[in-house]
Chains A and B, each alone.
Chain A
Amino acid sequence: DAKTTQPNSMESNEEEPVHLPCNHSTISGTDYIHWYRQLPSQGPEYVIHGLTSNVNNRMASLAIAEDRKSSTLILHRATLRDAAVYYCILSEMYSGGGADGLTFGKGTHLIIQP
């Protein structure tokens, strides 16, 4: 799987938007961009995924650069419960064939200040 680069940590204030960047300059044409987050002592939780177009769901938005070499996870209004480690992961296939596990990097530790 292609590698991703994320800042080690970011800090934000409660109820403000948070933009978490991810660089993936070696992304291939079939790589999907996945975001997961992990709260302390829990398993990772799916946040959002996309291929080329920007995506929105109830948790977050995913903005994908036109050249797909970077993406940004957007939390529109952070709460204390959003404090977690956020992982940006590339995976070749989302649906259909393929059965590879995900390769986790170090992720971004998001700190939310009240």
Chain B
Amino acid sequence: GAVVSQHPSRVICKSGTSVKIECRSLDFQATTMFWYRQFPKQSLMLMATSNEGSKATYEQGVEKDKFLINHASLTLSTLTVTSAHPEDSSFYICSARDQAGGYTFGSGTRLTVV
């Protein structure tokens, strides 16, 4: 089946620094990928839709200048959390639509900003 690889699985960074999270579709091409955020004991919240070769579409309330998304190839989307602060600490999860139209999720990235 379709596989989505997300890296790193866990990262700790200092407040004010930037962190990049990678999401790769391993055995299929994904023109559309999605980024979610999940706070403890809460459900996943869609942050943005990443489209290959074009600008990402952000959900209401998500700052596009803070969460930079790049989808430069059909198998890779990256999310960069810029000038991270403790309130950005969360579980970030990417997802890709496979060729059958289903959704495959990455294993998530636990970001801790200290």
Contacts and interface: CB of A to CB of B under 8 A. Distances in A.
Interface residues on B, range: 20 to 34
Contacts of A34: 103
Given A44-B105, A95-B100, A101-B95, A107 B43 contact: yes
A94 B43 contact: no
Interface of B: 4, 6, 31-32, 34, 36, 43-46, 49, 51, 91, 93-95, 97, 100-108, 110
Nearest to B51: A99
Interface string A95-113: 1101111111111000000
B33 to A, nearest CB: 9
A31 to B, nearest CB: 14
Contacts of A49: 102
Contacts of B110: 41
A110 B75 CA distance: 34
Contacts of A46: 102-104
A102 B102 contact: no
A105 B43 contact: yes
A42 B108 contact: yes
A102 B108 contact: no
Nearest to A94: B101
